[in-house]
Amino acid sequence: MKEDIRSFLEYLRKERHYSPHTLLAYENDLLQFAVFFAGARRLADVRPGTVTQADLRTFLASLLDRGLEKKSLARKLAAIRSWYGYLVRKKITDANPALNIVTPKLARKLPAVLPESCIDTMMELPQASTPEGLRDRAILEILYGTGIRLSELTGLNLRDLELKNATISVVGKGSKQRIVPIGSKAREAMQRYLAVRSTFRTGKGAVPAADAVFLTPHGRRMYAKGVYRIVHAYIGAVSDVEKKSPHVLRHSFATHLLNRGADLRAVKELLGHESLSTTQLYTHVTVDRLKRVYDQAHPKA
């Protein structure tokens, strides 16, 4: 199995352009699957074609018995199903044992969204008198003003900025590039940050990041955890929302657009979603808001 798993991961990396994070998740899930059957059959390795649907159900049941959440179980099943689909196409196996196993039904949670008033307050928190403060303000304005993902932000290079045209170019999932407009607030924040960007010097032993837009104080490209900590701190200062990740600003971007009448398909393109059904999650947030307004204002509510 392990050799077939490595082949599949290489396919996802080279041909599907999956991110390192996604590849690691696939690898962990599939290796756990392989180790389970090797242990159950007391073999060093197991051929994928010998696993039946009943065997797979036994594996999934063992995960449930250990208290694995349905969301994680669904992810592992999806990884196994995808892997076997690859093996069938490559004629390594004849059948996909995961094909007819029903994915656990998940309770769909609404995304965490900040009120517009909190956004306004948060944007005033970074210290405009320091380079780090100007950088933080630019990070917050870009995340909220464009709705781009954390990985898209950290991957930004100077050549991706077209501030005169009020656009930026980002590389999203599957290495797909898209052009995203930016508003006047985000553009102004970026211009002020770029004016002091050269003060972020490359420290001893640091890897120069001449092309990166956002830099650490030592001149290296900003990394995901660093941005996460920055955003977490600023959101925590203005809201008690449970999640305080950069994705909350992406959720807020989409929800506020829809609240103000933006077209759902346009929001889909801005977010870089493959499917409209993914974007439709935000309409539930908007409908909930409308229901609250109705309950508070309508005499017959």
Q: Which residues are catalytic?
A: 149, 173, 247, 250, 273, 282
Count of CB atoms situated within 10 Å of the CB of 252: 25
What Rg do the C-alpha atoms of the chain give, in angstroms?
A: 23
Cross-sheet strand order for the sheet of 177-181: 161-162, 167-171, 177-181
- How many residues belong to the chain? 301
Q: Which two tokens stand for residue 206?
A: 């640091």
Rounded to an integer, what distance in angstroms lies between the CA atom of residue 209 and that of residue 203?
11
Could you count the other beta carbons within 10 Å of the beta carbon of residue 297? 8
Joined tokens for residue 10: 């290489």
Q: How far apart are CA 159 and CA 143, in angstroms?
A: 18
Report residue 168 as tokens. Answer: 């930026």
Give the HSE-up count for residue 172: Cα atoms under 13 Å, Cβ half-sphere.
Answer: 17
